[in-house]
């Protein structure tokens, strides 16, 4: 018996070794690298130099412009979270509770997820011919006579940035919420209805509580993705908007890795705090571990 | 949806159904509308602009894309992105299937490993990209699509592969494995004749994620790819430099490849499932 357990342990170790090595090499060490570089010094002429200074962090945390970047990043995250939660919840609800044929429900669910397997950059630039000054939406608005002049704020604005995020990230809300809703025992809803609960009470006392882990998981994805984005802000913001990661992108453009590193460390701390807060409210581990 | 279907079919639809059906339709248009508008615009004539209305109809911009080298190294970018995506696909399948099998039991370090995988989804792609780039610089290694970018892509595809394996293995009955072993099958035989055939639809799903997520990955490639661009980076430079429908043509070609992969994978999964349910039906009919 002893030898068979140790053989099994050996097999397990072999099975997880490739995953462990890859994650250590390409996730753990890079994050440590970033943290180390954030203490380096930077000079325009000689570039980044190994050092141990807190200057980069002081700069990030006291400079008004960088603090504004965190404000913008959080503003986008909050807006996108609220919109994707609303849209994602109702789409998932529709698929899980209103479509009676399982195959059709799965088909429609796949329809919502297919764009995930295509390029985000392409999905982003797809908005340009629609939102531009001579774009389709302005043509339509002027055609109907709602406006006389093309609406300027459709493209290259905060509006375009948020619209694009919602377009790209809503499916990260739909998938986990649909997953939890699909697992809700239908007889619970019958029971609630028999006990005299109305539509609203079934929603607030049965469906929402039982979809909580899906909602939390979706929220973590959407917040992390929005806060980690830079290319939507870069292109759709038209150079007028910036967030933390787009500023990091500019930093590495001039090879100022230490400043980018300090930005990254602060951002990672903020994201981790938000994710931990969400996990505090809802036990996401249960949702993720359930499959195991 | 699945359960009480029979009982509720005759009931009249509630008004909420119609409201949500309209909402769903609008959402699907919102999701796909913009994408299809640029596919349509990529088929314009030679003197076309970036917006509607369409100026003529031709394949001019596709020729421009591959004909002359003036739009950058598109062919080369395809030549790097596709092999890279295939390598990522292979590694993602092997690594996530192996790890998924191990994760069926608790083992020393299983939870830190699991959380590292999840963290890898949450860390911004550009942050990881910079970290990997810096790591290579410190070690004096040169970044390249087949080394640093490959690792960067795996950090994105492996967590998805692992989560899919969890979902698939939750429905896998370990007794089948035990039975084969009791009959004297070796580990390799168990894997080859029992585990892999049963898990095959899930493995295709992992492969689909591995290929498409790598093929379209942009932020994690930015610093790690070295001097030669992969396709998403090439598209990015076109977005910032070129303002002709050639950009849309490239988008159309790229997405067509993605769609072919998606359709082939989902079709294969559906076919296997159907054949299986057919087989089990025939078996139960015989019995």
**Model pLDDT for residues B213-272, shown as the tens digit of each residue:** 999 999 999 988 888 889 899 888 888 777 778 888 888 998 999 999 999 999 999 898
Dihedral-angle region of residue B7 (phi above 0 means left; psi in -120 to 50 means alpha; beta otherwise): alpha
Whether residue A75 lies inside any domain: the answer is: yes
Q: What is the structure's pLDDT at B286?
A: 62
| Omega of the bond leading into A263 within 30 degrees of 0 (cis) | no
pLDDT in the model for residue A101: 85
Q: Which residue of B has its CA nearest to A222?
A: B122
- Residue in the block written with tokens 């930077």: A42
- What is the mean pLDDT of the segment spanning A122-150? 86
**For range A10-32, the mean pLDDT:** 93
- A147 lies in a domain? yes
Judging contacts by C-beta atoms under 8 Å, the chain A residues touching residue B232 are 119, 121
CATH code of domain B73-241: 1.10.3720.10
A residues 156-215 near B, CB within 8 Å?
167, 170-171, 182, 186-187, 190, 199
Phi, psi of A42 (to 5 degrees): -135, 135
A39 assigned to some structural domain = no
Give the domain CATH number at A252: 1.10.3720.10
The residue segments making up the domain with residue A209 are 64-289
Distance CA A23, CA A29 (A): 9
- As given in the structure block, the two tokens for residue B134 are 């810096």
Question: Would you state the pLDDT for residue B157?
Answer: 95
Which chain A positions have a beta carbon within 8 Å of B247's beta carbon? 125
CB A129 within 8 A of CB A160: no
Q: Does any domain span residue A220?
A: yes
pLDDT-wise least confident of A39-43, A225-229, B92-96: A39-43
Closest in B1, B49, B128 to A96, CB measured: B1
Cis check: omega of the bond before B53, within 30 degrees of 0: yes
Which residue of chain A has the CA closest to B127? A264
pLDDT for A82 beyond 50: yes
Tell me the per-residue pLDDT of B187-210, one tens digit each, with 9 for 90 and over. 889 888 998 998 999 999 999 999
Q: For residue B8, what pLDDT is reported?
A: 47
Tell me if A136 and B101 make a contact (CB, 8 A cut-off): no
φ, ψ at B26 (rounded to 5°): -60, -40
If you search the block for the tokens 């979902």, which residue do you land on? B167
> How many domains does one find in chain A?
1
> 3-state class of A192 per DSSP?
helix
Question: What confidence tier does B52 reach under pLDDT thresholds 50, 70, 90?
Answer: confident
- Domain spans in chain B, listed from the N-terminal domain onward: 73-241
Residue at A86 is within a domain: yes
* Residue A43: DSSP 8-state: E
What pLDDT is stored for residue A267 in this prediction? Answer: 93
Distance of residue B68 Cα from the nearest chain A Cα, in angstroms = 22
Q: What is the mean pLDDT of chain B?
A: 86
> Using CB atoms, which residue from B1, B247, B254 is nearest to A97?
B1
Query: Is the pLDDT assigned to residue B6 strictly greater than 60?
Result: no
In this prediction, residue B3 carries a pLDDT of: 40
| pLDDT above 70 for B47 | yes
Confirm whether A31 is domain-assigned: no
pLDDT of B282 > 80? The answer is no
Cα of A70 to nearest chain B Cα, Å? 15
* Distances from the Cα of A85 to the Cα of A88, A90, A183, B34, B234, angstroms: 5, 9, 19, 22, 33
Look at residue A36 and tell me if it is in a domain: no
- Decide if pLDDT at B7 tops 60: no
pLDDT of residue A289: 57
- Residues 244-263, chain A: which have Cβ within 8 Å of B? 245, 248-249, 252, 257, 260-261
Tokens of B211: 């290929």
pTM value is 0.89
pLDDT at A87: 97
Residue A19 to residue B113, Cβ atoms within 8 A: yes
What local confidence, expressed as pLDDT, does residue A288 receive? 63
Mind telling me how many Å the CA of A226 is from chain B's nearest CA? 9
- Predicted ipTM > 0.85: yes
Helix (H) or strand (E) holding A207: none
Measure the CA–CA gap between A259 and A244, rounded to whole angstroms: 11
């Amino acid at each position: 018996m002893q030898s068979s357990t140790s053989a099994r342990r050996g097999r397990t170790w072999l099975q997880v070794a490739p995953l462990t090595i890859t994650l250590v090499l390409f996730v753990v060490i890079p994050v440590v690298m970033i943290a180390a570089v954030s203490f380096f010094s930077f000079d325009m002429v000689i570039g980044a130099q190994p050092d141990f200074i807190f200057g980069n962090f002081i700069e990030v945390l006291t400079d008004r412009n960088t603090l504004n970047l965190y404000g913008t990043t959080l503003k986008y995250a909050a807006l996108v979270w609220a919109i994707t939660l609303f849209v994602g919840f109702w789409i998932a609800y529709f698929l899980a509770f209103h479509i009676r044929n399982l195959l059709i429900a799965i088909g429609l669910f796949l329809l919502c997820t297919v764009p995930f397997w295509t390029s985000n950059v392409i999905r982003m630039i797809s908005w340009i011919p629609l939102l531009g000054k001579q774009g389709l939406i302005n043509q339509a608005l002027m055609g109907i006579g709602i406006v006389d002049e093309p609406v300027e704020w459709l493209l290259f604005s905060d509006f375009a940035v948020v619209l694009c995020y919602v377009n790209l990230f809503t499916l990260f809300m739909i998938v986990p919420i649909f997953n939890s809703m699909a697992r809700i025992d239908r007889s619970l809803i019958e029971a609630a209805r028999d006990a005299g609960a109305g539509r609203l009470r079934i929603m607030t006392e049965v469906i929402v509580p039982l979809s909580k882990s899906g909602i939390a998981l979706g929220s973590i994805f959407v917040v992390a993705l929005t806060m980690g984005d830079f290319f939507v802000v870069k292109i759709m913001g038209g150079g007028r908007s910036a967030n933390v990661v787009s500023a990091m992108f500019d930093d590495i453009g001039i090879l100022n890795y230490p400043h980018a590193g300090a930005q990254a460390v602060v951002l990672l701390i903020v994201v981790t705090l938000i994710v931990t807060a969400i996990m505090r409210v809802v036990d996401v581990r249960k949702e993720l571990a359930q499959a195991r | 949806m699945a359960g009480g279907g029979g009982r509720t079919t005759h009931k009249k639809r509630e008004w909420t159904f119609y409201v949500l059906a309209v909402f769903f339709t609008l959402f699907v248009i919102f999701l796909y509308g913009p994408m299809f508008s640029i596919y349509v615009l990529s088929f314009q004539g030679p003197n076309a602009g970036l917006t509607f209305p369409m100026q003529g109809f031709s394949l001019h911009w596709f020729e421009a894309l591959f004909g002359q080298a003036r739009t950058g190294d598109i062919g080369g970018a395809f030549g790097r992105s596709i092999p890279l995506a295939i390598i990522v696909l292979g590694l993602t399948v092997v690594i996530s299937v192996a790890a998924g099998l191990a994760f069926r039991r608790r083992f020393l370090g299983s939870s830190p490993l699991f959380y590292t995988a999840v963290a890898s989804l949450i860390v911004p792609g550009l942050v990881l990209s910079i970290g990997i780039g810096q790591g290579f610089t410190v070690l004096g290694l040169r970044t390249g699509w087949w080394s640093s970018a490959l690792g960067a892509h795996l950090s994105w595809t492996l967590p998805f592969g692992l989560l899919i394996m969890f979902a698939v293995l939750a429905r896998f009955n370990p007794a089948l494995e035990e039975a084969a072993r009791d009959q004297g099958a070796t580990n390799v035989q168990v894997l080859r004749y029992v585990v892999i055939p049963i898990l095959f639809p899930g493995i295709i799903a992992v492969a689909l994620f591995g290929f498409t997520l790598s093929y379209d990955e942009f932020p994690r490639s930015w610093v790690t790819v070295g001097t030669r661009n992969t396709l998403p980076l090439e598209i990015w430079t076109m977005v910032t430099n070129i303002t002709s429908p050639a950009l849309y043509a490239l988008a159309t070609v790229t997405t067509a490849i993605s769609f072919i992969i998606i359709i082939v994978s989902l079709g294969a999964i559906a076919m296997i499932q159907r054949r299986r349910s057919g087989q089990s039906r025939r078996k139960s009919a015989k019995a």
